Amino acid sequence: MKQTVKRILKRAGYDLHRIEPTFVPFVRHFTFAGQPFDFWIGNPDAEWWYQEEGWKIAGEYKELTRLCKSGDRILEIGSHQGFTGILCAIFSQANGSVVSLEAHPLNAMIATAQLGANPSIKNLRFINAAGGDHEGSVQIAPKHNSSVVPGGGEATVEVPLRTGDALDKELGPFNVLKIDVEGFENMVLKGCKEILRRKPKIAIEVHIDSLAKYGSGVAEVLEQIHIKDYHGTMVVRPDYNTVKPFAVEQLPATGIANLFLTPL
């Protein structure tokens, strides 16, 4: 019957298309580490990613809880819509602080809106910028989970580029470095040389397949970190929930691994 109606309308000069429902942002309520907070869900991907039950058993949550302590001063580079920034702010408590960079302007705007929804969280600041190895600007892909585009292009957005060391002088000093930058890890670490000399605690999401796009690999990332000075744990996808002891030889050849490192 539906196909018959479509054919009749088409002969009459009309083309029938299904209209997809428009996503309407909404607030979801969470409680982590005993602290309730509200979180703007800005799009369908965020609706799927940020679910309380899944996060409470996720290895990343377990290890961020272990790594980030009261009084820590945390620099987060790559915050998406602010969820892990809020968690780090909760873990570091009122005597700690979090400075969180997010490259995508829309995600940064949503992340900043999280602060308006949670006026009791006063130790967290979001900045619309990408992290890198020098101060300036960079082109990013204007997609939901954005990444730096080497050489730019038509489908890009120009955003500020900041180094961790410059932010460390302005807003630090930081003793925890959290990085999630879709393969741009080595370039971000090059901009954090002074921070790394102090041997901070590190949480880094290593996008193994995407590193080559920026002229690096896992070996370069581990060298920047001075991995011999660290021990820790890792979560290797697609198993998001299992936490394993970190070992260089156990890193996969492909995929994504989250490392949670503490200086020896």
Mean pLDDT of all residues belonging to the chain: 92
The pTM score is 0.91
Tens-digit pLDDT profile for residues 67-108: 999 999 999 999 999 999 999 999 999 999 999 999 999 999
Residue 221, judged by CB atoms within 10 A of its CB (0-12, 13-18, 19+), counts as buried
Tens-digit pLDDT profile for residues 164-209: 999 999 999 999 999 999 999 999 999 999 999 999 999 999 999 9
Taking a C-beta distance cutoff of 8 angstroms, is the pair 262, 201 a contact? yes
How far is residue 67's CA from residue 27's CA, in Å, rounded to a whole number?
28
Taking a C-beta distance cutoff of 8 angstroms, is the pair 200, 175 a contact? yes
Would you state the pLDDT for residue 66? 96
Tens-digit pLDDT profile for residues 208-224: 999 999 999 999 999 99
Tens-digit pLDDT profile for residues 225-253: 999 999 999 999 999 999 999 999 999 99
Would you state the pLDDT for residue 9? 47
pLDDT band at 22 (very low <50, low <70, confident <90, very high): confident
Residue 74, judged by CB atoms within 10 A of its CB (0-12, 13-18, 19+), counts as buried
